[in-house]
Amino acid sequence: MSDNTLLSAEIKKLQKERNAIILAHNYQCPEVQDLADVIGDSLELARQAQKTDADVIVFCGVDFMAETASILNPGKTVLMPAKEAQCPLAAMLPPDVIQVAKEKYPDAKVVMYVNTTAAAKTYADIICTSGNAVKVVESMESDEILFAPDKNLAYYVQQRTKKKIIPIPNYGMCIVHDNIKPEYVKTIKKKYPNAKLTVHPECLPEVQEIADHIGSTKGMMEYVKNDPSKEFIIGTEEGIIHRMKKEAPGKIFHPINPLPTCRNMKKTNIQNLYEALLDMKHEVKVPSKIADKARKPIERMLNL
């Protein structure tokens, strides 16, 4: 019996003892996904965090995701196995940048991507995810929208709304998706001419424009399962391909080369997941002063 098999059995035992739920993002490594109770994108996991009856939420993802779970569940214990797993995109939006933009555009509403820190979220009128960004923007009364912090997602939304989208900061981007260059995509499309290209809206505009489909990780999952094509090129972090192979058997998935890998997502593993549950360590607790303010725009999104 392998070490991973033994650890997996211990994790399941501890999970039952702690009345814990394990949430994992689609970009987690395969062995963590296989242990999770729920695998999903930011919106799916936020909903699960909000409605779970578990006493302990173990969040296998990056910092802002665990913070969101803590904000929505002030009475529960939220553990993050890899406490050092930070999201570079979220770190690109310090609160002072938002304040300056709000002063410059006083009539604009602030639609903030969930990929932001808890402190940044306190400045938002509403939160969005890549899956519902257009719907959220359309729900706002203002014709001017301060959209933070991903400029490529802002571009995606601007193509689908008549409202004026003002990205803040204008350099904000996911380093993994932004590095999926058009030339990489064109090369693999030539290699697999019959494959459909599905990409994340955090990708560059030039990549979005040549895609057959653009969607959140949930949207990409639904696309590859429901589209009659048998072969797909996957324009997002490579971790999702593990889930695609399980849920769309018989289909072929090609990652972009060089392989898009989020080092922070991959910091979670079976060992630190086990240790977090064993010692109840790496708790994420957002201070109530921040959490109370940040909760309102998150709940506005969920209520949509």
Domain-located, residue 152: yes
Mean pLDDT, residues 94-108: 96
Task: For 25, list phi and psi in degrees, rounded to 5.
Answer: -75, 155
Domain-located, residue 302: no
Tokens of 192: 């697999």
Q: For residues 304 and 299, what is the distance between their CA atoms, to the nearest angstrom? A: 9
- Per-residue confidence (pLDDT) for residue 47, from 0 to 100: 83
- Per-residue confidence (pLDDT) for residue 51, from 0 to 100: 87
- Per-residue confidence (pLDDT) for residue 2, from 0 to 100: 66
Residues 99 and 153 in one domain: yes
Asked if pLDDT for residue 36 goes beyond 60, the answer is: yes
pLDDT averaged over every residue in the chain: 96
DSSP secondary-structure letter at 49? Answer: H
Domain-located, residue 34: yes
Tokens of 110: 């602030």
Around Cβ 35, how many Cβ atoms within 10 Å?
Answer: 22
Around Cβ 271, how many Cβ atoms within 10 Å?
Answer: 12
Cβ 110 vs Cβ 100: under 8 Å: no
- Per-residue confidence (pLDDT) for residue 50, from 0 to 100: 84
Say which residues have a Cβ less than 8 Å from residue 193's Cβ, sequence separation at least 6. none
- Per-residue confidence (pLDDT) for residue 44, from 0 to 100: 86
pTM: 0.96
- Per-residue confidence (pLDDT) for residue 145, from 0 to 100: 98
Task: Express each pLDDT in 215-239 by its tens digit.
Answer: 999 999 999 999 999 999 999 999 9
Mean pLDDT, residues 102-114: 97
Domain-located, residue 294: no
Tokens of 64: 């802002």
Residues 200 and 236 in one domain: yes
Burial class of 1 by CB neighbour count within 10 A (0 to 12, 13 to 18, 19+)? exposed
Number of domains observed in the structure of the chain: 3
* CATH code, 244: 3.40.50.10800
Domain-located, residue 296: no
Domain that holds residue 234: 180-255
